[in-house]
Amino acid sequence: MINKCLFPVAGYGTRFLPSTKAMPKEMLPIVNKPLIQYGVQEAMEAGMRQIAFVTGRSKRAIEDHFDRTYELEDQISGTKAEHNLAEIRHLMQTCTFSYTRQVQMKGLGDAIRTGETLIGNQPFGVVLADDLCLGDDQPVLTQMVNIYRKYQCSIVGIEEVAHEDTEKYGIIAGKALEERLFMVDAMVEKPAASEAPSNLAIIGRYILTPDIFEVLRTLPPGRNGEIQITDALNIQAKNKMVLGYQFKGHRFDCGSLDGFVAATNYFFQRMGSSGNGG
Ligand code: UTP
């Protein structure tokens, strides 16, 4: 029902410098698999087979990752190493990949607006690949598609964070609608704990209805002079409805050093018990 998923990957990844000087943050590996591949896998499992990237300079490695590598594949054909490519080959057979560039880093809202040419007039998923999510029974994006089926409006993935961490996230104010589901009244970008309306933080999973593009086109810069997706969602929440969905599962914030190391340890241990990173 939702065919397309947008991956904004144009950010500089300054917290991982110098690694990200010439290499995209999204290509950093959690054990043997780059962050972006975990994200694309999640989108594919949610039925989103048209993968759209908003890229920037120094991001070519992402395009190459989702393409054939003839020499290498020829070399390892029939060897033990070949099975390491099984998963990415399956992704490449199942999905299509398209790319556009964000010319200036004017914020996540601007990156999403730039993706309009690839998305068009239909609802779509958004994945920020540095949030690596593990769903309990189902992948997080699949859980969100199920909510979309019922409510047909924009949905933000949310989780409870420690009060002292609200200043790192967009935080929602809202009313409980169902178990784990909130009708969003407002979103505040990175509030201090004393000003935060709740401790429900927006994480890097969204389902957006296409009218968001119209809002983004005329939206003035917000916090830090950036076009903020939360400002656009606030307008949608006033005009229509936006839901916050507290997903079932766990998120690793791989955009931070702590979260990156925690994810690495987790997947390495899992690999030890199952023979692959899964
Ligand atoms: P972040 O706030 O994590 O920024 O962006 P960043 O540049 O990736 O990392 P740091 O903070 O400098 O270490 C959140 C998401 O939005 C994308 C990023 O690629 C990331 O997936 N983004 C952000 C863009 O695509 N364009 C922008 O102008 C800003």
What is the number of alpha carbons within 13 Å of residue 71 lying toward its C-beta?
0
- What pLDDT was estimated at residue 1? 86
Tell me how crowded residue 44 is: count the other CB atoms within 10 A of its CB: 18
**Residue 11, ligand 1, Cβ within 6 A:** yes
Position in ligand 1 atom list of the atom nearest CA 129: 21
Ligand 1 centroid to residue 168 C-alpha, Å? 13
**Residue 205, ligand 1, Cβ within 6 A:** no
- Residue by residue, DSSP assigns 12-49 as --GGGTTTTSSS-GGG-EETTEEHHHHHHHHHHHTT--
**Residue 108, ligand 1, Cβ within 6 A:** yes
- What pLDDT was estimated at residue 121? 97
- What pLDDT was estimated at residue 276? 53
**Residue 203, ligand 1, Cβ within 6 A:** no
| Joined tokens for residue 14 | 């300054």
CA distances from residue 159 to 140, 163, 275 in whole angstroms, order as listed: 12, 12, 31
What is the number of alpha carbons within 13 Å of residue 58 lying toward its C-beta?
13
Ligand 1 centroid to residue 165 C-alpha, Å? 18
Ligand 1 centroid to residue 183 C-alpha, Å? 26
**Residue 130, ligand 1, Cβ within 6 A:** yes
Structural domain tally of the chain?
1
- What pLDDT was estimated at residue 195? 94
Low-confidence ranges of the chain (pLDDT < 70): 273-278
Q: Which of 126, 130, 131, 230 to mutate to test the pocket of ligand 1 (most atoms within 8 A of CB)?
A: 130
113/117 Cα distance (integer angstroms): 9
Q: Which of 62, 100, 104, 108 to mutate to test the pocket of ligand 1 (most atoms within 8 A of CB)?
A: 108
CATH number, position 62: 3.90.550.10
**Residue 54, ligand 1, Cβ within 6 A:** yes
Q: Are strands 50-55 and 96-101 parallel, antiparallel or unpaired?
A: parallel
- What pLDDT was estimated at residue 45? 97
Average pLDDT, the chain: 94
Which range marks the domain in which residue 215 is found? 4-274
Kindly compute the dihedral angle of the four CA atoms of residues 73, 48, 30, 137, in this order, to the nearest 10 degrees.
-130
Q: What is the pLDDT of residues 136-165, one digit of tens each?
A: 999 999 999 999 999 999 999 999 999 999
- What pLDDT was estimated at residue 273? 65
**Residue 123, ligand 1, Cβ within 6 A:** no
